Amino acid sequence: MRKNRIILGTLALAAALTLAPASGLLAEQLSIPVGSQADREFVSTPETGMSQDAVRATWGEPLEVMGPVGEPPITQWHYRNFIVYFEHDRVLHAVLKPNR
């Protein structure tokens, strides 16, 4: 009886370990029509490392400022077409807003 339990437990564990990686295969694919991508090539965004003063001088005042949040402090500046993320006072990343 004990031997049957061990075999059954081993088989159950093997089945669980075999099927676990398959759960990662169920991902949603996101496709963006090519026609909606073309105009976004020409949007100018701040480069990594720029200061807040340089961003403000080039693109003007942001429409909205969020943050700072966390450590190191991350601040978001929202412009019409993009969002700029700052770490302290330097550009960390700039992201285009989705077309609507």
CA 85 to chain centre: 12
Domain boundaries, the chain: 42-100
- pTM for this one? 0.59
Residues 36-50: tens digit of each pLDDT? 554 556 778 999 999
What pLDDT is recorded for position 20?
63
C-alpha distances in angstroms, 82 versus 6, 8, 17, 26? 59, 57, 43, 31
Rounded to 5 degrees, what angle do the CA atoms 95, 92, 55 make? Answer: 75
Tell me what pLDDT residue 14 has: 74
- Give the residue among 60, 45, 41, 42 at the shortest CA–CA distance from 91: 45
Give the single-character DSSP code of 94.
Answer: E
Mean pLDDT, the chain, whole residue set:
82
